[in-house]
Structure 1
Amino acid sequence: MLLVPVAAYLGWLQGRATGAPPLAQASPEARARPAPAPDASVSPSPPASIASAAPLPPLETPLRDSLAMLRQRADAGEPAAACRLAAEFEYCHQIRYRLVAASEALQEQERLRFDTATGLSEEARQNMRDMMAANSERLLKESEHCENVPLSTAAERVHYWRLSALGGSTPALRHYAVGNAFRLNETLDNLDALAVYRREAEALAWRGAASGDLHTGLALASALSPRRNELRRYFLAQAVQPDKVKALALYLHLKRQLESAPAALGGLRAQIEQQSAELLVDLDASAEARARELAAGYARDWTPVPRDSFVMPPPGARGTPDAARAECSRPVAGRTAG
């Protein structure tokens, strides 16, 4: 499939003919290449991973110029390269959907261009068209990064997220362990990979939390809490057994980690306080003491939450944020588990 060009819908907005830049179509060789299958025999904590002294390519490097090198390094077992490759594939995959959405919105605006029943003034409608045109131009510019690169498959993206997570990449651990590597509209394409994920997700989530990743710790605490909403369980919550003591221990640890966080995260601290209080209602004195003992151990043995986590989008209604391409250069996590 082609990345859908939206520039064709901009001509009537800007009074000029606009052509989209050439976008990639999968080659016959790429279409024939089987997607990597998850290896159920691989442990969630492989004995070793390869760390390269060579830096990852700059973010502005077009993917076509770095794809072969990233794939070679990722297949050789380098977690940072596997993370970057997966994130690049994810970026281009999402660009495609954003282009589709933009083109559909532009078509709708064209249909309503002369419809006075909308209740909007001509000036308001023109402002809306101008805004959508500017957004489409930005999308077209961003899509240049993915030109001449075959679209990835769901299996490829999951494979490299998992490969990187197994190697200890902290952003990949978060992305894979909480289930962000699996998109709902690709569930049937990922059934085999989801079976593997179910067996190893909790161990990887503990490893991510131990590496100091705030978002993984929060997602794991929520998944472990028996008070979670059973009707809206995300993937990690379906892969772990509820454990009130461990859930409370995680919340207590994260609460302490957030003591020096900016005031903007006050809402998150309040949310953790509420979750902790609700769990305490269900625990007797000995269970509470065990949770506090575990939390003290996490504080002693785990990597502290880095301060740059405090400027990331906070968890909440939007869930755990995806791993971004720029994050993939972070150091490999240790192997401590809960």
Structure 2
Amino acid sequence: MAGAGTFDALDLGLLQALQLDGRAALSRIARRLGASERTVARRYGRLRTLGLHVVGQPVPARVGMTRWLLRIHCTPDSAASVAQALARRPDTSWISLASGGTELYCALTTRTPHERDALLLDKLPRTPHLVGVGAHCLLRLFTGITSTWYANGAPFGAAHGREGGSSAPASRSDEHPEPVALDVTDRALLTALAKDGRAGLPELAATTGRSPSSVQRRLQRLRAQGALDFSVDFAPRHLGYDLMTHLWLQVAPGHVSAVGRALATHPEIAFAAATTGPHNVVASGVFRDSQDLYRYLDHRIGSLPGIQAAETAPILREVKRLTIST
């Protein structure tokens, strides 16, 4: 077995299999990796002690929610307290400190214009020590929100499909123009999966008050409708990737989709989306060090047609990850 600070091909294969299907049975993963189920279960337990977490998330565009990215500038002595206050809100899902600790990035999901306005027009403007707030509506996600990993040059990032034999892949949001209607049981199920995306059917049945077979049918329906996806959270630093950064790109009209699709194929990119504002594409990337980032900007970003300007903001600390209220 790999040591406490090292990872071998079996560990990385397990991480990749979970990225492809966060609820895949360990027995099926073991067969795919050519290992015993007991060995895979032991490796999975070890990774859990190091922070591995599978989270079930509603897909905002499919359930009638709008996703925002806030770029908040604070005075140096207030950023940490503002970040903690935002982290306590159930409608925030990801908060990070960047740019010398004076800039916050906050992913926010709202269900109604009233919820949006309550924070953006009422709460934040009255918060002391804020220098400025930029609110950017995410128009199209090109890849999901999770960690990114590598091994021997192969990406272990946000999956763009699921392994053979898993449940049907989530449908693209633009194939279903009408949002999926969620009932009380759906919301209870999503809340439980947000805590543990690999919770067993008996546990989910007890939480929702439904039978295990009913829960299974709901899971299959929500995934087939593109309303539910699973993210795998594992700190990239465990695999030697110590630099995370936000990328803000100005892309010429007509090139946004092409740039976004290209970013989604880059193993360095954990998240990419088209957004409102002067920078119309935003992304988050994971790199080994500053030289790794430099090569990426010079060779990968620099070679994409249509990019007019690029701004980078290294992430100093992540305050909250992977929680979306429903």
| Same fold per superposition (TM over 0.5) | no
Q: Which of structures 1 and 2 has the bigger CA Rg?
A: 1
Structure (1 or 2) with the greater helix fraction: 1
Q: Give the structure-2-normalised TM-score.
A: 0.26
